[in-house]
Structure 1
């Protein structure tokens, strides 16, 4: 039988080995990563032991806490909710890639921390929270006029265009939604969580957060065939634009007595030539032609056939230049519903908003032929 002192000694040795292993991981992180390597205790202190009072968000990748470093710098600390299948060095290699990505419309990654099973990312703190809290929540915290909403759309488009087309290697975000677009003190948009998809299984970004059938961000080709491409990001961005313009969530809501997705409502209004009816009442005065161009651009982005959607650099051009869109090339949006959700089923159904056609066109058509006025 082991004596108590022997048991205590064994426990101490185990704890010492665990601390040594964690210390080695932290030292290894510091030697591999190009960005700052934070110590676990440093972040625990900054967030008051990850207090719920400091919790500022939660998504598919983890929980975010507001923290204040000893220097007085405010940061956002994301505790990743799932363990990556990669080792420490492989994980840090991916983090290095993300930390080197700099753009005014992307949230800056300041550093990371690996401590035993804990993996954390430290970001710049963005003052005005996410679009879903500012604009789509039950209690709006800020009033956004058209100038600010326009800037949100354009800035987000520029950030995505950078990830898709300027950055090498390119990054497909995979989770563009209102909660991932943050606003700084000047209301400039910053895209968060870019580049994290590579760290987790393919289905983590959307399926695990149960967006399917509820919020309407998912491109139909992703739901049907698992095709997560840049054009799926474009689709999500189009839905996001409709939310920014209307101040409404993309989820099902009652429109004129009919329950439908925001994108369905937008298409119905387009066919009735009543698109301005979807503009948020709190926008105040707005330039009608410009707002119409924004809504129509969103519809180009959400077409059922991915090949018909524009590239994000083309979207930037459509939003920033006084152009007339070639609406002859605009086709109905695609979306899906989880028709078995209420009965506990998991059936995903593709639907076309245009019941007069009932088909999803497969002919590739350029959608960004624009003519200066």
Structure 2
């Protein structure tokens, strides 16, 4: 922990590069010269302990070129710190929303915006959770709206998934699309099918399709 404190200048705000819902993410250079991302969970956030365990269980087992690698962790008293691979070219959030990032500017990550209702109730990380998250990502890509920031609809604030369900219920599929998306050549039926697939992914736990089924539906849509 002492090395991590020194590498982050005692977790200086100048080194914050992201907000992971239950803790901040810092850019740091370890004593061996390697540049890493340090995620320090908020010790006062009860759910942060569960997220720490979930990330250890999932990221610790994964090795994929498009998924950040977990390099290690540190536990000291109530403090929980994850040492992650530093992604030089930024996060998925930055690519979707075309935002820039510097060492002095936080990048909003909004992890909880992708989490299903059962996760908040203490459910473990499962493939069904991943399907839900993928559905949220589908909405995010098509609408350019952030899952972790509320929107105003009918005079009150709602989250992306609530807004999307209401818009779809009112048959306002085309209005949901990112205003920067070229509309020429777009098939309204294909747009509806895209959002139908995203909606399936974000159903209640037992109603979600397997990821293989989702892939099949998307392949059929793109053929």
Instruction: Tell me if TM exceeds 0.5.
Output: yes
SS in 2 for 1:248: coil
Q: Assess, with a 3 A threshold, how the Cα gap between structure 1 residues 297 and 258 changes in structure 2: closer, same or farther.
A: farther
Is the 1:110–1:122 contact (alpha carbons within 8 Å) kept by the matching residues of 2? yes
Q: How does 1:329-368 map to 2 (within 5 A)?
A: none
How far apart are 1:291 and its partner, in Å?
A: 4.8
For the aligned residue pairs, the C-alpha RMSD in angstroms reads 4.0
Q: Offset of 1:268 from its aligned partner? A: 4.2
* Structure 2 residue ranges without an equivalent (≥5): 45-51, 101-107
**Cα distance change, pair 270–96 in 1 and its aligned pair in 2 (3 A):** closer
- Could you state the TM-score of these two structures normalised by the residue count of structure 2? 0.67
User: Bigger radius of gyration, 1 or 2?
Assistant: 1
Once residues 92 and 110 of structure 2 are traced to their aligned partners in structure 1, the CA distance between those partners, rounded to angstroms, is: 6
Q: Match of 1:322?
A: 220
CA distance in 2, matches of 1:99, 1:233: 16
**Contact preservation (8 Å) 2:173, 2:191:** no
Is the 2:38–2:84 contact (alpha carbons within 8 Å) kept by the matching residues of 1?
Answer: yes
- 2:216 is paired with a residue of what secondary structure? helix
Spell out, residue by residue over 1:218-238, the C-alpha distance to the aligned partner (whole angstroms, 9 max, x if none): 43x566x76555434433432
Which residue is equivalent to 2:70? 109
Matches within 5 A, 1:270-289: 270-284=168-182, 288-289=186-187
Deviation at 1:53, TM superposition (A): 0.1
Structure 2 CA distance for aligned equivalents of residues 116 and 103 of structure 1: 32
Give 1:76 deviation, angstroms: 0.2
Give the 3-state SS of the residue equivalent to 1:106 in structure 2: coil
Matched, 1:66 2:24: no
Report the number of matched residues. Answer: 204
**SS of match in other structure, 2:62:** coil
| More relative contact order, 1 or 2 (CA 8 Å, 6+ apart) | 2
Once the two structures are superposed, the pairs formed by residues 153-164 of structure 1 within 5 Å of their partners are none
| Residue in structure 2 matched with residue 307 of structure 1 by the alignment | 206
Deviations 1:122-148 (A, max 9, x none): 111113444556656xxx526xxxxxx
Q: Partners of 1:252 and 1:99 in 2: how far apart?
A: 32
Q: Name 2:135's counterpart in structure 1.
A: 238
Deviation, structure 1 residue 110: 1.5
